[in-house]
Amino acid sequence: MTTLYANADAIRAEARALDPVKVVLTLVLLPFFVVGFSARFAWVAVSMVWTGCVYGWRIASKRVDPPGTHRPNGTETR
């Protein structure tokens, strides 16, 4: 039990040492950080999906077999 009380005392000492200005500024800036992080995450997700769709469209529109695949007549594409 002494370890628990020692940790609680250390936490209380740290809590007393907190600067109220830093705490308020952190709380004020937190929404901006969350919005920016979410926007960046959404941008990366959308760009990856878009790139995959464009790549798939280009591959499908060529109507040729990818290199190394065998055609029914036994020839190989190059």
DSSP string over 12-34: HHHHHH--HHHHHHHHHHHHHHH
Euclidean distance between CA atoms 9 and 74, whole angstroms: 79
pLDDT at 59: 82
pLDDT tens-place values along the chain, 78 residues long:
556 677 888 888 877 887 889 989 999 999 999 999 999 999 999 999 999 998 888 888 766 555 666 666 655 555
Predicted confidence at residue 71, as pLDDT, reads: 62
**Centroid of chain to Cα 51:** 17
Structure-block tokens of residue 41: 């995450």
